[in-house]
Structure 1
Amino acid sequence: MLAIIGGSGWSDAGLFEQTSQREINTDYGCCSAPLQFGHMQAAQRRSEALCYLPRHGGGHRIPPHKINYRANVDALAQAGVRSVIALNAVGVCHTRWQPGELVLPDQVIDYSWGREHTFADELEDFSSHIDFTQPLLSEWREPLILAAKRTATVLHDGGTYA
């Protein structure tokens, strides 16, 4: 199953038809909100079933530095999610990218600090190194690029999310 993690902009867009929701307990605490299950509303047809998680909780009440990312990821995994598309509204460093345009990043720099950021806190939990050379799943790149072209959405392919 695919999940979308989004903020208030996506929640307010009216693109998602919720059919159910589920609270999931995790070993990492509470996730941002109950997981919402339903379908994307498209012009011609409904999407396959998907899961939506409002990153900042209901009512946009959790600031970015307080989001329990480990609980969110664990809850999604427990719900059977295998792929995640995360939507983020962020500032940019390039003047060639304009407000309202989309960027499909291909790299990540993690500047987070002051919170737990790994699932392997204990040495006995450590089983292997994780390859981070291509941190974003390539199987979703082409469908997202094609969808942007079909809707005449300006999409920049490549960039670094930091």
Structure 2
Amino acid sequence: MTRHIELALIGGTGLYQFPGLDKIERHAVDTPYGPPSDSVVLGQVGKHRIAFLARHGESHTIPPHRVNYRANVWALHHLGARRVLGVNAVGGIRGDVGPRVLAVPDQIIDYTHDRLTSYCDVAGAEVRHIDFSEPYSAGLRKDLLAAASQAGVAVVDGGCYGATQGPRLETCAEIVRLRRDGCDLVGMTGMPEAALARELGLDYACLALVANWAAGCGGETEISLPEIFANLAAMTTQVPRLISALLAT
């Protein structure tokens, strides 16, 4: 099945539906890799057609290490998406990316393990060695930054996303290691999603919503989950305006 979809959005923690969609269709996509996290929602934003998929399911029932990333990305590609924006809740490590900051990272380090990370992991599949030097598509990143400026949404340009296994949050010592490795943000869902998109030839970028300071970075002795969800609720209200501007670019 192919149809013209201008943008696919993968919603992370706190973004389980995309408000303001018209002419909604829900598609339960069968994939060679099992079921996606949920049905893919197709709809209109003005004149623009988008797809939306809740990474953890619309009821947030799937933890980061159990997300079927291969099925999710394949389903969006199958429905006709060619540009994919992953929205990810993250913790802030660098001083200028604290809670309620939006960032558009340009690099990633993968610390995850035991995930199905490639479409080559199937018997008989072609072995493809993708170039992953720049893990996010430059053109889509540029358009996203321009859209943020046009929409009046403040975002930080660049930064390295450290992808950890989850679902637990990291120790202070682990964050010290990530900082030493050059990570500015830490999250649990950035990989293998970005690499899978590259394998399918999709343009892919990340919009990171900083929900909290990473362990040991903000002076707090304990990370507050209610505060995390309050921060995400505040930030997700800006996402539709940013997406509308992105679709107009």
Same fold (TM over 0.5): yes
Q: CA deviation at 1:8?
A: 4.5
On the 8 A contact 2:10/2:52 being kept in 1, the answer is yes
Please say if residues 120 and 128 of structure 2, whose CA atoms lie closer than 8 Å, have aligned partners that are also in contact: no
5 Å matches for 1:135-154? Answer: 135-154=135-154
1:132 matched to 2:137? The reply is no
CA distance in 2, matches of 1:160, 1:31: 27
How many residues were matched structurally? Answer: 157
TM-score by length of structure 1 reads: 0.87
Equivalences for residues 1-162 of structure 1 within 5 A: 1=5, 2-11=7-16, 14-17=19-22, 19-40=24-45, 46-121=46-121, 124-162=124-162
Paired with 2:87 and 2:155, the residues of 1 have a C-alpha distance of 13
- What is residue 43 of structure 1 aligned with on the other side? none
> What displacement does 1:150 show?
2.3
Between the aligned residues of both structures, percent identity stands at 37
**What is the letter of the counterpart of residue 157 of structure 2?**
D
Give unpaired runs (5+ residues) of structure 1.
41-45
Cα distance, 1:70 vs. partner?
0.5
**Structure 2 length as normaliser, TM-score?**
0.58
Contact persistence 1:26–1:75 (CA under 8 A): yes
Amino acid at match of 1:39: Q
Q: Distance in 2 between matches of 1:69 and 1:93?
A: 25
SS of the residue corresponding to residue 9 of structure 1 reads: coil
Question: What is the rounded CA distance, in whole Å, between the counterparts of 2:89 and 2:149 in structure 1?
Answer: 20
Question: 1:61 Cα shift?
Answer: 0.9
Return 5+ residue gaps in structure 2 as ranges.
163-249
Q: Which has the higher helix share?
A: 2
Give the 3 Å change call, closer, same or farther, for CA 6–143 of structure 1 in structure 2. same
Q: 1:38 to 1:56 in 2, by over 3 A?
A: same
Alpha-carbon distance change, 51 to 26 in structure 1, aligned in 2, over 3 angstroms: same
Between stretches 121-130 and 62-71, larger displacement belongs to: 121-130
SS at match of 1:128: coil
